[in-house]
Amino acid sequence: MKRLIRLNTYYKLLMLILSASIFFFVIYITLYLYTIQEERNFYKITYNQYDKEVRSLFRLNSKTTTATIIDVTHWDNLVSYTITKDKKWYDKYILSEFETYSADYIGVYGLDQKIINKTASPKIKSLDFIPKEMMTVLYKSKLKKFYIKIPEGIVEVFGATIHPSIDPKKNKTAPSGYFFIARLLDKPFLNSLGNISSSKVNLVPAHRTVLEESDFVIVSLDLKDWKDDVVATLLFKRPFNLNYKNSKEILFIVVLVSLLNIFIFVYYTKRWVYNPLKLVKSILETGNIKAIASLRKFKGEFGYIGNLFEENSNQRRQLEISKQKAEESDTLKSSFLANLSHEIRTPMNAIMGFSDLLTDANLTESEKLEYLKIIKNSGNNLVSIIEDLIEMSKIDAKQITPNYKGLDIEKCMTELYDSIKVTIPKDKNIQFYILENSAKITENILTDETKLKQIIVNLITNAVKFTDNGFVAFGYTVHKEKGILAFTIEDSGIGMSTNHLKVIFDRFRRIEGDGTTELTGLGLGLSISKAYVEMLGGEITVTSTIGVGSVFTFSFPLKFDQTEKDIVSSKTISFSGNQENEIILIAEDDTINFLLLKKIIESKNHTVLRAFNGQEAVTICTENPDISLVFMDIKMPILSGYEAFEKIKLIKPGLPVIAQTAYSSAEEREKIVQCGFNDYITKPLDKEKVFAILDVIFMEINS
């Protein structure tokens, strides 16, 4: 009772509704059960009466034939006929009176169980269908009625032994023979039986399950043969005019209406009273913003209260946002400066420290190679940091715009696979492959090839960085119905938590954890990728599970290149020579860069010439016809690399020219390719890249 008193008004009201509902439901259930019981009782009484009526009618239907066969089988002349077998007597007294027997078959048999004579209506074609074994039974029983199935249908058979008139009880004399009367239970017979009983009568196979029907009373009579086996069933079916179906439907409708009323009352009470009060309580306790928005939707006093809560919440939120931004700005600034200082000092420390160690004359050859490898890797890390800073500054200054042109996406994916595969560290057990795509694009799409490749390279590089074992895969899918081209980069790396996913694309944010302590970088790669994706009109998302891996997905509108494709003639190179002892011109104003490139080229047994500026490069190419290749620095005095390249191409169109530049941005590389340079290398120089260019150029020359 105390618990009930402590309940709020809403729940007290619900308890009252529930109690009243239970009371009415008990009444409804009682009425329903009473109706069902009355229906069953009435049906049972009707069935019993109908069953007695059918069985009495069926017995009455057989009495005439039974009386006839009893009367005939006490006929002295019939006894004599079984002996004389006089056909004339049979025709005169039996055949001529056949119609008066109301039968379809009459047969007289001797004690030897052989037929003496028979008469049948056109309905029965069978000659002798009375079982011989049955006559043995009939010899003892004197009179028997049974049913038998013949090709024409079910036949009702009355059989009796033949005795003289002095033996009315058939117990003083032995039988002289057997007399049978049969009638076919055909459709006219059944219709006649149905008219008499006001029923629909049907013959059905023996042992067939008879299903009850609510609108009919059904009585079945089994028709048995002389061995007491059921050969068929006679079904009597009469309409059951009185049922309680309507009463039950009315009760059911009343229950549904009651339930609907209860539901409506409870629903609107909860909606108009309980829900607003619950929202007010939640707002006062927690300041829930969603609760305020929901409360404002109510009309009347509760909506007005919601507006007051919202004004108060907005003022408090603005103060919190301002405070958070100020704190976050200071934190990010400090974090960026500390991170930048750390990331730059780390590779510089390695470069300077191991360079100093290389001066030690006691170093072994393996130690020197190890130190040089560390210096090279540290230099690459430093270059990567600087490139990311420059790229992000250009994005912020909006100096980068998309350069849309036609792109064969299948060819692009293959090129990316071939170029990235060789960069995966050998010490990592990674399967690198392209995801299968059933719907491939055969037409050129319209996009910025350079930025698209940069996005994919950044994401794959990031995946490889955080994956030591397993796989890294990438591919694309086409959603033509949405007009979207989506790219996916999957890995089985260390994965990320939900908190890291929220800030993964923020600048200068890196995942810090046990598996990332040895990784370097400013955390700008994903930020740059996100900026490029948005620049192309798309969006990028990521899903990840710790210990399982990550899936990066980015998409942008699918547009096909509608411009006509120009047939570009392949470049012809007019030089022929060997892959060694070639004369190569290096146009480079910086002596250190020249010496480095000179040493790399001379290691392949080539002769190196030098031009200190663009004009000198043009002059040397004009005066020396034996030059096979030119390495052209882009930024030089007098004439820039672009200007010198144009003049050389006018003089020697087939001379291969390789651009070398300290600008590593995608736009600069795109400009170099569009100008017509055969290839390009970026500073700091990569020895293997230079060797690869030499092999390709001289292989083309020799071909």
Domains of the chain (ranges; CATH) run 65-239 (3.30.450.20), 335-396 (1.10.287.130), 402-557 (3.30.565.10), 583-701 (3.40.50.2300)
- What is the H or E stretch that residue 124 is in? none
Paired residues of 630 in beta bridges: 585, 657
> In terms of pLDDT, which residue wins out, 701 or 588?
588
H-assigned helices in 300-364: 301-357
Residue 512's pLDDT band, with cuts at 50, 70 and 90, is: low
Report whether pLDDT(164) > 90: yes
Report whether pLDDT(280) > 90: no
Picking from 7, 272, 254, 271, the residue whose alpha carbon sits closest to that of residue 16 is 7
Report whether pLDDT(213) > 80: no
pLDDT at residue number 571? 42
Tokens 């620095």 belong to which residue? 633
Share above pLDDT 70 across residues of the chain, in percent, rounded to a whole number: 86
Residue 4's pLDDT band, with cuts at 50, 70 and 90, is: low
H-assigned helices in 91-202: 132-141, 187-197
- What is the H or E stretch that residue 702 is in? helix 687-702
Cα torsion angle, 630, 635, 636, 638, sign = positive
Predicted confidence (pLDDT) per residue in 556-597, tens digit: 898 887 775 554 443 444 444 446 788 999 999 888 888 888
Residue 549 Rama label (left phi>0; alpha psi -120 to 50; beta): left
Residue 269's pLDDT band, with cuts at 50, 70 and 90, is: confident
Strand 469-479 and strand 429-434: the pairing is: parallel
Amino acid letter, 228 = D
Q: Which residues contact 264 (CB under 8 A, 6 or more apart)?
A: none
Find out whether 659 and 672 touch, Cβ atoms under 8 Å: yes
556-573 CB burial, b ≥16 within 10 A, e <16: bebeebeeeeeeeeeeeb
pLDDT at residue number 143? 93
The span from the CA of 33 to the CA of 247, in Å, is 12
Residue 12's pLDDT band, with cuts at 50, 70 and 90, is: confident
The span from the CA of 259 to the CA of 261, in Å, is 5
Distance (Å) of CA 454 to CA 451, 459, 464, 529, 665: 5, 9, 15, 7, 10
DSSP E strands, 525-582 = 539-545, 549-557
The span from the CA of 577 to the CA of 583, in Å, is 10
Residue 163's pLDDT band, with cuts at 50, 70 and 90, is: very high
Using CB atoms within 10 Å of the CB of residue 124, give its burial: 0 to 12 exposed, 13 to 18 middle, 19+ buried.
Answer: buried
When pLDDT is averaged across residues 45-56 and rounded to a whole number, the result is 87
Report whether pLDDT(518) > 60: no
Report whether pLDDT(546) > 50: yes
Q: Residue 161 corresponds to which tokens in the numbers above?
A: 């032994």
Return the biggest CA–CA distance within the chain: 160
Among the residue ranges 5-19, 258-272, 538-552, 580-594, the one predicted with the least confidence is 5-19
The span from the CA of 494 to the CA of 547, in Å, is 5
Provide the 3-class DSSP secondary structure of residue 440. coil
Return contacts of 273-276, CB within 8 angstroms, 24+ apart.
Answer: 273/10, 274/10, 276/302
The span from the CA of 237 to the CA of 220, in Å, is 9
When pLDDT is averaged across residues 44-70 and rounded to a whole number, the result is 87
